[in-house]
Amino acid sequence: MSAPLLDVQNVTVRYKETVGIRDASLRAGEGEILGFIGADGAGKSSLMHAIAGVIRFEGMIRFRDRTFRSPRQAEALKPAIGLMPQGIGLVLYRNLTVAEHLDFFAEIRNLKQDAAFRAYRQKLLEMAGLARFTDRAAGHLSGGMMQKLSLICTLLHRPKLLLLDEPTTGVDPLSRLELWEILQQIRREEGTTALISTAYMQEAARMDRLLLFDGGRIIAQGRAEELTRSVRDYCYEPTDCPESRCIRTLDTTYSLEPLPAPKKEPGLEALFFVEAIRRGKIPPAIEVSPRESAEPIPPVVMEARGLTKRFGDFIADDHIDMRLAGGEILGLLGANGAGKTTFIKMLLGLYPIDEGELTLLGRPIRSAADRRELKARIGYVSQHFALYKDMTVLENLRYFASIHRIPQARARERIRRYAEELGFAPYLHALPGDLPLGINQRFSLAAALLHEPVVLFLDEPTSGVDAIARAQFWQLLQKLKERWGIAILITTHYMSEAEYCDRVVLLKQGKKIADDTVENLHRRFPEAKSFEEIFLRFYKEDG
Amino acid sequence: MKLGVVRAYMLKEIKEMLRSKMIVLVYLLPTMIVILFGYGIRLEVTHARTVILDHDQSRLSRDLIGHFRHSKYFDTRVMNITEQQALHRIKQAKTEILIIIPEGFEKRLIQGVGTEIGVFVDGAFPIRGETMANYVEGVIFDAARRLMPPKEAKLITLDNRNLFNQAMRDENAIVPGLIGLILLVAPAILSALLIVKEKEEGTIFNFYSSPIKKSEFLLAKLFPAFVLHSVNIFLLFLWATWLFEVPFRGSFTLYWFASEIYVLISLGVGLLVSIITSTQIVATVLTIIITIIPGFLYSGMLMPISAMSAESVIEAHIYPVMYFNHIVYDTFLVGQGLASPKNQLYLAILLAYAVGLILLGSFLMKKELR
Amino acid sequence: MMRTFLSLVNKEILGFLRAWGLVAVVLYAFTLDIYIAGKGIELQAKNVSVGYVDESGGVVSLKILERLHAPQFKPPVRFLSQKELDRALRNREIMVGLLFDNDFSRDYERSGHARLNVLLDATAAAQSFQALQYLQHILLDFSEIHFPVGLKIHKLFNPNATTSWFMSLAELLSMMTLLGVILTAAVFVREKENGTWDMMLLMPVDPRLIILAKSFSQVLILSLGIVIATGLILFGAFDVPIHGSIWAFFLLSFFYAFTSAGIGLFVAAVSRSMMEVAQLAIFIMMPLIFLSGAWTPIHAMAPWLQKLSLISPLRYYIEGSESIFFRGTAWGDLWPYFAGVIGLGALVYLYGFRRIGRLF
């Protein structure tokens, strides 16, 4: 490592009532990539904002030979710093085109627009795959393209220090890979130092060094291998263990005490689980009681033949056939803009079907009237939906219960049971906005389950949710499948989650390109180490 | 300050405004307000619906009725109904004025015995009721005086000259004041929105994290708003003089110059609003609340400052709108221009407000997250 | 059915109460805003400032000036020359200038006829006209003429011409319109903005019931607002008299609340964000309020505008409310207002209902 280019000492960021990050120190050398990992609200963004000089802080930050203690003092360094804050397309202007963005960012940073600059600009556009779309308004780009545009806008002035706050959350694996490639190339050519926060552990594993955040502090740092090695002794193949001292997920059991089970090679996620056990913050085990209604689950829940949706000239879904059986978890995967959400919305009747036939629960769907009665048997959770923000969790659940005409006594009983089983009993009287995303997603699921539906449609329910909450969410889905035998259709950008699905369907530019079990796909691509590689293979294969 | 940076930022603002149709708000709102209020606020009374019950049916009573019939202030009907029924008509809002000429009206007049005419006026809309009562009184006394032998009358007559607005048109009195209202409200909303929009959507990070100076950012935000609303200065002038036919007697240069300064004041108000708010809807509502009340009540438009109570006069002097309206009314109706020391003083005060507000805004604005 | 309806209503009311900013704005609109409007806007000419130049050197002028007193007039200010008086008028320091010229006293003593020159600042047309009327009155009084004709003028309903009565009522009714539109539109647009719209569509409930419940919840809030504003501000602060039945007013308000909710439904159907709601609401409401007679009596408008005002439901609401409060109109005679509000209201509400229904 060369001499530290960036030296952060005892930085604390305070908000009106809370502390964002306390006493954080770090160093980074030229060309080094530092990864920030940790749950929602762990302090990653606060530290990035402090280093970018956009928020007041206590402590000291030195970059190159300049030291600053306030945003004002950081002004002189801003030509050398690039910040991409969290949120898809956050810094983009919806009405401006791609080319106008590049011009704008170049001009507000007063860059000299000579031949060298134009060549660099063109190179960035090509690297981001946006060269063809220079005339498209940012509001019309897919999430992945927006993030790539944001990144190249941030890179335009060749910053020496790059701060990227979750640039890949909600972005599909292919776009993630492309973003990463752009970054590697820039680092090689410009020697840029980068601080990047991420929710994807495969991505984190590629960073030079990682900082683990928890509760507003940096609790560990080191190379990915060092960090995983430090928890290697605590990871076992799934096995039973005393609930109060270990955490079980679908594929691993974590325990500080030795267990009579074979050890397992941990991923970076293990850090979070082990840390949680150390702090005694063990999440309650998920339990699901059998459903009360005796309604049988039909063998085929949903059958789509040639389902098509057009928006003007653009074909969002192109003649898609799909079948969802009872008791099956079907993963719907694809890049941003491949047509996943559109497909689910067609199934739900939120978009009219332009072409094709749909049979839901054994009933052909031709009109809105066909659906009305079915609504009571379908559950839906979307990535945006986190209940009504101005009602407490309990009020929300009661509201949904009475909308579904569940008798009051039974509704009370069910809410109580779900609250216990899904482990949100302590939060019943809190407002959803005050709670972490992971817990919110559990209420959303509870609300969708109150009327004991026969089929669940889940649209990116785990985006932006931390590792522990995601593991629990999947445990819950597994239990629902086992105990209730209901069918689940789910979309996700975490390819590791695809492994938990019984079957996956891959969409690409509105067309179905694969529909098979995960095992079969692994058999087809024996050299692939993870499902992510299989996904990328499919996507890169034919153009 | 790097002008290239400012120019690029401004270009972006203008493109966004055009594409998001915000530009419609910039030009439609002022015009709509001036047209609605200009036509809408009428304080003079014409065509008051009058019913006369003539219980006398004499030459004199018909003569009196004739006086009402010939006045543009009244739409007179002589009806043959009972007093009760007539009063009922007022309750139903079908009639506004009821005049009852008693039996033996003519006879008693000729005999020189006093007689009394009963008048009922609908006072639900107070200023209208008051004015109607005054009109009725005027017509009846006028008629009575003509009946009287001239030598008996010992009378001071009023010889009034209505300065600045000879015909006492409401348009002349209201429309110039509306300019002061609109140019206070509209630019403030625009400048507040231009800044708060970036805060709400998150693009403000581009300002925070880049080397753009605060002064460059402010110039880029305020200058387009300034230029766009400068067009409104002319537009409003056009509506006032062409549509409402308000005379313009003063110096156009003074009107223009004072209005430009006033637009700057409004931009300063918007800037201050944008500092304390973070969503567009709150910024809009707050701007409207804090600008419309002084724009209406303490501007001298509906109520002359000289006729206010002592504490209202002090309040009126706090808001910049009073100073501007003084100059605007001067340029439209009076025409003293800069020859009047008061106009000079007020112009200076406006300038101080503009500079003060914008300096205060740029001082309070921080280039960092809160 | 009823339980679903009630829980839909309950949800919206809870949502409203939790949004404390909104509650504050609504409370402000129904109390302080109406108070300020009633208190602040005084259109009557009061405290008229008078200046005079007295070249007559007589007692007559002084006697006349003595009669200019509060509340109509401020104490007259003496100017030494006509030029100074002129300057004060031009700078609008005074509104009325009186010129007692050389011959004034002499003429009056000798013939009983004299002319008093009055200079009026007519930039404030209404007030200067009223001031002139006051002067005329004073002079008539002063002349002690005994007309054979007496006049007995009854100003019905508001004998002291208290502006606050009228203005506070008119402001309350305008606020009803404003809030009815914005609140109702907000209920729907908030769901669009928060991404809960889809969830609403997926509920196993008849969409018509959802729309009805959502708008009804806002009608309830408005009705409560009307009661608060009437009790606290109209009766409490301004002692507005009510000659008719308060229940008639509340009933009329309740129907009108549906009308404004109907406009809100339309606004919600065509806007995507709260920003658009605010803009659209301004553009729809201004003409509506303008055409209603809240600012200016309908009969003072141009004839074509009077015809146009027939389609503004607010017109019937305002006229009806004025009649109930001030004219004490009986139930039986209120039917045109009820018919106007309910008829136009039903049209507006159904149209809004269908527009938003298309989104379901």
- Concatenate the DSSP letters of all residues of C299-347 into one string: GGS-HHHHHHHTT-HHHHHHHHHHIIIII---GGGGHHHHHHHHHHHHH
- The answer to whether residue B160 is domain-embedded is no
In this complex, the residue of A345, A403, A431 whose CB is nearest that of residue C205 is A403
Is the pLDDT confidence value at C112 over 70? yes
Is the pLDDT confidence value at C161 over 70? no
Helix H or strand E encompassing C78: strand C77-78
How close, in Å, is residue B273 to chain A by CA atoms? 21
Residues forming CATH 3.40.50.300 domain(s) in chain A: 4-222, 300-541
For A296, residues 6+ apart whose C-beta sits below 8 A from its C-beta are: none
Cβ–Cβ gap B44/C21 under 8 Å: no
Q: Note whether B21 contacts C: Cβ–Cβ < 8 A.
A: no
pLDDT for res A314: 84
For residues B41-79, one letter each, b for 16 or more C-beta atoms within 10 angstroms of the residue's C-beta and e for the rest, the string is bbbbbebbbbbbbbebebebbeebbeebeebebbbbebe
pLDDT grade for C43, boundaries at 50, 70 and 90: low
**Which residues in chain B are contacts of C305 at CB distance < 8 A?**
39
- The answer to whether residue B142 is domain-embedded is yes
* Average pLDDT rounded to a whole number, residues C60-80: 86
**Which residues in chain A are contacts of B201 at CB distance < 8 A?**
90
Query: Do B188 and B334 lie in a common domain?
Result: yes
Closest of C231, C225, C223 to residue C253, by C-alpha: C223
Cβ–Cβ gap B16/A93 under 8 Å: yes
Domain stops at, among B99, B125, B152: B152
Cβ–Cβ gap A398/C7 under 8 Å: yes
In this complex, the residue of C151, C283, C290 whose CB is nearest that of residue B117 is C151
pLDDT grade for B327, boundaries at 50, 70 and 90: very high
Query: Do B140 and B192 lie in a common domain?
Result: no
Restricting to B residues 158-177, those with a Cβ less than 8 Å away from any Cβ of C are 158-166, 168-170, 172-173
Alpha helices, H only, A136-253: 143-155, 173-190, 201-204, 224-231
- The answer to whether residue B318 is domain-embedded is yes
- The answer to whether residue B162 is domain-embedded is no
CB pairs B-C closer than 8 Å: 298
Using an 8 Å CB-CB cutoff, list residues of chain A that contact chain B: 49, 52-56, 71-72, 75, 78-79, 81-83, 85, 87, 90-93, 95-96, 100, 103-105, 107-110, 137
Query: Do B52 and B131 lie in a common domain?
Result: yes
Query: Do B202 and B229 lie in a common domain?
Result: yes
pLDDT for res A543: 46
Closest residue in B to C243 (Cα) is: B91
**Residue B131 belongs to a domain with what CATH number?**
3.40.1710.10
Higher local confidence (pLDDT), A85 or B116: A85
Cβ–Cβ gap A54/B4 under 8 Å: no
Choice among A346-355, A383-392, B4-13, C313-322 with the minimum mean pLDDT: A383-392
* DSSP conformation class of A233: G
Report domain extents, chain C.
Answer: 2-41+161-357, 50-143
Cβ–Cβ gap A90/B205 under 8 Å: yes
**Which residues in chain A are contacts of B210 at CB distance < 8 A?**
78, 108-109
Cα–Cα distance between A209 and A28 in angstroms, integer?
9
How close, in Å, is residue A427 to chain C by CA atoms? 18
pLDDT for res A137: 92
Query: Do B200 and B70 lie in a common domain?
Result: no
Mutation site, B11, B23, B206, interface A, largest A CB count within 10 A: B206
CATH class for domain C50-143?
A: alpha beta
pLDDT in tens, chain A (543 residues): 456 889 999 999 999 888 999 999 999 999 899 999 988 788 999 999 999 999 999 999 999 889 999 999 999 999 999 999 998 889 999 889 999 999 999 999 999 999 999 999 999 998 888 998 999 999 888 888 899 999 999 999 999 999 999 998 878 888 888 888 888 888 888 889 999 999 888 889 999 999 999 889 999 999 999 999 999 999 999 888 887 788 888 888 999 888 888 998 888 889 999 988 988 888 877 788 888 877 788 889 999 999 999 988 888 899 999 999 988 999 999 888 888 888 998 998 888 889 999 999 888 988 877 888 788 888 998 876 567 888 899 999 999 898 888 888 999 998 998 888 877 888 889 888 788 777 888 888 888 888 889 999 998 888 878 888 888 889 889 989 988 889 999 999 888 899 899 999 999 988 999 999 999 999 998 988 888 888 888 888 754
Query: Do B138 and B216 lie in a common domain?
Result: no
Cβ–Cβ gap B5/A54 under 8 Å: no
Q: For residue range B199-235, what is the model confidence (pLDDT) as tens digits? A: 988 999 999 999 999 999 999 999 999 999 999 999 9
Cα–Cα distance between A479 and A484 in angstroms, integer?
8
Cα–Cα distance between A418 and A288 in angstroms, integer?
8
Cβ–Cβ gap B160/C150 under 8 Å: no
Q: For residue range B37-69, what is the model confidence (pLDDT) as tens digits? A: 887 777 777 788 899 999 888 888 888 888 888
As given in the structure block, the two tokens for residue B245 are 């036919």
Query: Do B250 and B343 lie in a common domain?
Result: yes
Closest residue in A to B11 (Cα) is: A104
Fold of A4-222: Rossmann fold (3.40.50)
Per DSSP, the three-state class of C160 is coil
Counted domains in chain B: 2
How close, in Å, is residue C323 to chain B by CA atoms? 7
**Boundaries of domain holding B141:** 48-152
CA-based diameter of chain A, in Å?
74
Restricting to B residues 27-46, those with a Cβ less than 8 Å away from any Cβ of C are 28-29, 32-33, 36-37, 39-46
How close, in Å, is residue A427 to chain B by CA atoms? 28
- The answer to whether residue B369 is domain-embedded is no
* Average pLDDT rounded to a whole number, residues C299-315: 81
Cβ–Cβ gap B206/A91 under 8 Å: yes
In this complex, the residue of B4, B20, B369 whose CB is nearest that of residue A110 is B4
Is the N-terminal amide bond of C71 cis, ω within 30° of 0? Answer: yes
Strand order in the sheet with A19-29: A19-29, A4-14, A58-63, A66-68
**Which residues in chain B are contacts of A92 at CB distance < 8 A?**
203
* DSSP conformation class of C48: B
How close, in Å, is residue C8 to chain A by CA atoms? 8
Higher local confidence (pLDDT), B80 or B154: B80
As given in the structure block, the two tokens for residue C183 are 């609140």
Cβ–Cβ gap C199/A380 under 8 Å: yes
- The answer to whether residue B163 is domain-embedded is no
Is the pLDDT confidence value at C188 over 90? no
Residue A382's identity, in one-letter code, is S
In this complex, the residue of A376, A391, A403 whose CB is nearest that of residue C14 is A391
CB pairs A-C closer than 8 Å: 62
pLDDT grade for C41, boundaries at 50, 70 and 90: low
Query: Do B127 and B238 lie in a common domain?
Result: no
Mutation site, A347, A390, A400, A445, interface C, largest C CB count within 10 A: A390
Restricting to B residues 75-114, those with a Cβ less than 8 Å away from any Cβ of C are 88, 90-93, 96, 108-109, 112-114
Which chains does chain C touch, 3 or more C-beta pairs < 8 A? A, B
Closest of C226, C219, C229, C233 to residue C181, by C-alpha: C219
Closest of A230, A213, A271, A215 to residue A247, by C-alpha: A271
Is the pLDDT confidence value at B312 over 80? no
Query: Do B184 and B296 lie in a common domain?
Result: yes
Using an 8 Å CB-CB cutoff, list residues of chain B that contact chain A: 2, 4-5, 7-9, 11-12, 15-16, 19-20, 201-203, 205-206, 208-212, 366-369
Q: Looking at domain A300-541, does it have CATH number 3.40.50.300?
A: yes
Q: Which of A269-283, B306-320, C152-166 has the highest mean pLDDT?
A: A269-283
pLDDT for res B153: 58
Q: Note whether A348 contacts C: Cβ–Cβ < 8 A.
A: yes
Evaluate whether B51 touches C305 at the Cβ level (below 8 Å).
Answer: no
Domain stops at, among B152, B179, B194: B152
Q: Tell me, what's the ipTM?
A: 0.85
- pTM of the predicted structure, to 2 decimals: 0.85
Which chains does chain A touch, 3 or more C-beta pairs < 8 A? B, C
pLDDT for res C16: 87
Residue C152, beta-bridge partner list? B118
Query: Do B141 and B275 lie in a common domain?
Result: no
Look up tokens 């408008």; give the residue: C301
**Which residues in chain A are contacts of C194 at CB distance < 8 A?**
384, 388-389
Evaluate whether A4 touches A27 at the Cβ level (below 8 Å).
Answer: yes
